[in-house]
Structure 1
Amino acid sequence: MALVESAQGSPFKEEHVPFQEPPPVVTTPADPWPRPYYFDDGLRKVAPYHFTYNTYCKQRWRGRELLDIFASEFRDRPLEYYKDAIERGAVTVNGKSVPTHHIVKNGDVVSHTLHRHEPPVTARPISIVHEDDDMIVINKPTGVPVHPAGRYNYNSVVEIMRAERGHQWNPLPCNRLDRLTSGVMFIAKHPKAAEKLSFQIEGRTVRKEYIARVKGEFPNGEVVCDMPILQISPKLGLNRVRANGKAARTVFKKLAYYPPISESTDKTLQNLGFEPNKEGYSIVRCLPVTGRTHQLRVHLQHLGHPIGNDPIYCNQRVWGSSLGANDADAARDSDEDIITRLSRMGKSEVADAVAYHDEMVDEYNKKKAEKMSGELCEVCQTPLYTDPGEQELCLWLHSLRYEDAGGSWSYLSPLPEWALPPKGQDGPREVGGMEDLVQAVKEENPEIA
């Protein structure tokens, strides 16, 4: 029964309308609140939940069959899954169930409801370095992506902060850190504050300092690396030093050096494909003058001191015994060889080392049989994975400090645990100012300091 309007000026009257069962998709919640977080064994986990993706028809989809679109565009699940999902109404067009051969047209909205399983992240909190009416400066934990992407949604900085401050609160990240990188990040409270800081960062009036834990004893003094960087595989997000790459410059300075670690820990790293730790490790301050993708990781590798637990740039199974040091001309290995070996990681090599690398996660999840628990979800029959290990949640690279070049503000985070002196050894527990690093930049190239 429904109320319908009669002639003008007349009251509403009742009209009997046959009841129609709603499509199954609407029984599925699309935005659970509060967020289904729970904590277990040092990890923040998200209880599996149903989620509906809504996507407008893309130009390349027009005139194509629905199943063909899913088979070619959404390959994280087998074709049989998508065929079944369409047939049982979990995939709809404009809110209605359609056959697998349905032709998608311009303006159509394709919806896909699935039982979503997110990977765990660290349970460490997002700590606050500074907060005022415009901005929150946070110390981002390692292993947590900034934005929802790929398999991550509620396990992201944006959604964790929203869960803590209210459903209507809209955090606006002003700088980006890779998922495995920790440290200083800026979260604006309103668009004007985000625009102001973004303008400063783009105008290169903001200085950034990182801290890294690298293989071997790093040289003394300020070390300037100005080798150009080229992306050799957009699919894998892989970069190398190349003469025909984009200009890049980084200033490094050793903060501390510590002799080799214990034999048992050394063997663990070797089993993951990392270079044996025969030379100890160094804590290095890094001032990126330019902002190329993976710039610090690539420059440190080229200098012969890669980040010690870097799953990509410090892996002998990918780069060989030289680890790509001083290999600007690819004398030992072609780019194709490197790409092939890197693509093979997670399929036939030691998978733990690259399981959650940002640029490889989609491809890796299709192959990583060795990470499957052997169990299936009781609700959706999705294969379940084991929890990530520590090596999959941490990269020894930390955004230590951001400061205005004019001196109006500066924010410094504490040194991460892996940068502190080992038990029983002396070493620095804090870092001084950036004046020495900035001076090294000015001496080399005053116009960009």
Structure 2
Amino acid sequence: MSLKRKDPEAEAGKSGDRGRRKKARGDGGEGRYVPPPTKRRAGVSFGDEHFSETESYIENGLRKVRPYYFDFETYCKGRWVGKSLLDVFSKEFRSEPVEYYRRAARAGRLRLNEDTVQDLSVVLKDNDFLRNTVHRHEPPVTAQPLHLLAESEDIVVVDKPSSLPVHPCGRFRHNTVIFILGKEHNMKELHTIHRLDRLTSGVLMFAKTPEVSKKMAELVRERKVEKEYVCRVCGEFPEEMVTCEEPILVVSYKIGVCRVHPKGKTSKTVFQRLSYNGKSSVVKCFPHTGRTHQIRVHLQYLGHPIVNDPIYNTEAWGPNRGKKGEINMTNEELLRTLIEEHKSKQSLDILDVGEDDLLVLNSGQSEDGCPCPPSASGTEDPACTRQDKDVSLAKDAEEVAIKNPSDADMEGKGHGLVDPLCGECKIIRPDPSPKDLVMYLHALRYRGEGFDYSTKLPEWAKDNWIE
């Protein structure tokens, strides 16, 4: 969906006018008029008003984004109907204490059907429209530039760096391929044909029209596109061709964790060893299906996980790190173990999980399904469980309803601004090493009828590479 960022001060003025016409809501929700929902354009579209929200800069080999204010909008979820705002915030969004939400409401930072709400006892109704402005922080990505591989009147093809998400998802918006192409290369209104994991680099195709996007997506879905990936894995991979057809089950859409399981979906990957240096092997991968993390999961099952895979090559999977599917844990236990391991390493950003997400995961609440079409590539982006969360308050309602404070309320913090109610502003995080944001998995070639796009081998995949 398309979201237009509104000027907080102008909107505050509008809400002030409304406030003079009818007082801020404090009637507990009874007798409230709820306007009918307006039709919202499907798809994701971004323009200059979105690109101007903030700016990026390079520091310590990382591409960073200055914290910025952003409007989030959502219609009332079905499970919220009949509950008060306070009940929803305290039960579902517990990353902040209840007092925080009361302070935010008193400050006029939450709007219901475009009217400010100062009393959280308001009971939500079907079609209620919530809007809040959050102080948004994005994790850094590597400073590697996007390389344009090809462009025609129909297609744009880039060599995506590792650590950069394809489109806005989770905590990422400006540090995404779509935003960088739009803002820095004036390539707007692009349509995704396939996706890659955030940590995966390589060939990434976009269509310039919906018609071309649909045609290309059908080719990928019908397996008429040949895909080649290259990776570096642990140990000595067999010299002969290896085919893995183990079914893959999604353990968590929230953080994109999968495992081999009899109840999983049919999957097939063919592997071919290119070289072995005594410690690790360079392997070509040919995914015939497009399951989430398919290449990574199959390599783990074979006992040769990707050397620096932060999910599938960790001790959380047991002493054999998931080889032959021997995990001996329930899905819930596996998730808990993975999260605890990354918490101890202070690397939750690798999973695109915040402390607020942990509350949901640990409480056993169900996750909303991903509205995005399934990926046709061998490695779809698992972070995309709620298409940028532009369409949901889920993650961001925890930071609820922050209006744009005056300059007097803000202090400089590095290259950004500090918001007095933003919990993230109070945390000083050490920069990750650019090396830690690179995983040795690369989409080397996409070929089909009438097209053939490829990149050079990454440095880590060359015969003379030394770790």
TM-score normalized with structure 1 length: 0.75
Match of 2:205 in 1: 186
Alignment of 1:355 onto 2:317: no
Alignment of 1:55 onto 2:74: yes
Match of 2:128 in 1: 108
Say whether the 8 Å CA contact 2:244–2:270 is kept in structure 1: yes
Secondary structure, aligned partner of 2:197: coil
Say whether the 8 Å CA contact 2:67–2:417 is kept in structure 1: no
Match of 1:3 in 2: none
For 1:41 and 1:245, how far apart are their aligned partners in 2?
A: 41
Say whether the 8 Å CA contact 1:346–1:364 is kept in structure 2: no
For 1:66 and 1:337, how far apart are their aligned partners in 2?
A: 32
Q: Once the two structures are superposed, what CA deviation does each residue of 1:265-311 show, in whole Å capped at 9, x if it has no partner? A: xxxxxxxxxxxxxxx11110000111111111111111111001111
Distance 1:334 1:23, change over 3 A: closer
Match of 1:254 in 2: 273
Query: AA paired with 2:199?
Result: L
CA drift at 1:350 = 2.5
Secondary structure, aligned partner of 1:137: strand
Say whether the 8 Å CA contact 2:149–2:159 is kept in structure 1: yes
Alignment of 1:403 onto 2:447: yes
Match of 1:293 in 2: 292
Say whether the 8 Å CA contact 2:252–2:258 is kept in structure 1: yes
Say whether the 8 Å CA contact 1:174–1:188 is kept in structure 2: yes
Q: Once the two structures are superposed, what CA deviation does each residue of 1:339-369 show, in whole Å capped at 9, x if it has no partner? A: 331132233x3333x53224778636999xx
Say whether the 8 Å CA contact 1:31–1:51 is kept in structure 2: no
For 2:100 and 2:194, how far apart are their aligned partners in 1?
A: 38
For 2:457 and 2:90, how far apart are their aligned partners in 1?
A: 46
Deviates more, 1:416-425 or 1:31-40: 416-425
For 1:161 and 1:30, how far apart are their aligned partners in 2?
A: 15
1:383 to 426, 442, 452: 426
Secondary structure, aligned partner of 2:324: coil
For 2:97 and 2:203, how far apart are their aligned partners in 1?
A: 40
Corresponding residue pairs, total: 370
For 1:111 and 1:59, how far apart are their aligned partners in 2?
A: 17
For 1:171 and 1:75, how far apart are their aligned partners in 2?
A: 36
Distance 1:359 1:106, change over 3 A: same
Alignment of 1:43 onto 2:62: yes
* Alignment of structure 1 residues 4-15 onto 2, 5 Å: none
Q: Identical aligned pairs, as a percentage?
A: 40
For 1:218 and 1:411, how far apart are their aligned partners in 2?
A: 27
Match of 2:170 in 1: 150
Secondary structure, aligned partner of 1:386: coil
Match of 1:447 in 2: none
For 1:383 and 1:360, how far apart are their aligned partners in 2?
A: 15
Deviates more, 1:69-78 or 1:137-146: 69-78
For 1:424 and 1:228, how far apart are their aligned partners in 2?
A: 34
Match of 2:140 in 1: 120
For 1:424 and 1:37, how far apart are their aligned partners in 2?
A: 33
For 1:76 and 1:161, how far apart are their aligned partners in 2?
A: 33
Alignment of 1:339 onto 2:335: yes
Q: Which structure exhibits the higher relative contact order, with contacts defined as CA atoms closer than 8 Å and separated by 6 or more residues?
A: 2
For 2:243 and 2:146, how far apart are their aligned partners in 1?
A: 33
For 2:249 and 2:264, how far apart are their aligned partners in 1?
A: 4
Query: AA paired with 2:339?
Result: S
Secondary structure, aligned partner of 2:103: helix
Deviates more, 1:208-217 or 1:379-388: 379-388
Q: Once the two structures are superposed, what CA deviation does each residue of 1:314-337 show, in whole Å capped at 9, x if it has no partner? A: 112x12331121235x5x555554
TM-score normalized with structure 2 length: 0.72
Match of 1:440 in 2: none
Match of 1:163 in 2: 183
Deviates more, 1:90-99 or 1:284-293: 90-99
Say whether the 8 Å CA contact 1:39–1:123 is kept in structure 2: yes
For 2:241 and 2:264, how far apart are their aligned partners in 1?
A: 24
For 2:65 and 2:325, how far apart are their aligned partners in 1?
A: 43
Distance 1:251 1:363, change over 3 A: same
Distance 1:359 1:97, change over 3 A: closer
For 1:30 and 1:81, how far apart are their aligned partners in 2?
A: 30
For 2:339 and 2:457, how far apart are their aligned partners in 1?
A: 33
Say whether the 8 Å CA contact 1:241–1:298 is kept in structure 2: yes
Query: AA paired with 1:315?
Result: T
Deviates more, 1:100-109 or 1:300-309: 100-109
Query: AA paired with 1:346?
Result: H
Say whether the 8 Å CA contact 2:69–2:133 is kept in structure 1: yes
Alignment of 1:213 onto 2:214: no
Q: Once the two structures are superposed, what CA deviation does each residue of 1:113-165 show, in whole Å capped at 9, x if it has no partner? A: 12211111122111111110000011111101111122111111111111024
Distance 1:30 1:424, change over 3 A: closer
Say whether the 8 Å CA contact 1:227–1:299 is kept in structure 2: yes
1:413 to 455, 460, 464: 455
Query: AA paired with 2:226?
Result: R
CA drift at 1:41 = 1.6
Say whether the 8 Å CA contact 2:168–2:174 is kept in structure 1: yes
For 1:299 and 1:363, how far apart are their aligned partners in 2?
A: 27
Give unpaired runs (5+ residues) of structure 2. Answer: 1-11, 19-47, 362-412
Query: AA paired with 2:307?
Result: G
CA drift at 1:402 = 0.6
CA drift at 1:94 = 2.1
Distance 1:416 1:81, change over 3 A: farther
RMSD of the alignment, in Å?
3.1
Secondary structure, aligned partner of 1:345: helix
Secondary structure, aligned partner of 2:337: helix
Say whether the 8 Å CA contact 1:30–1:51 is kept in structure 2: no
Distance 1:58 1:215, change over 3 A: same
Query: AA paired with 2:108?
Result: G
Secondary structure, aligned partner of 1:199: helix
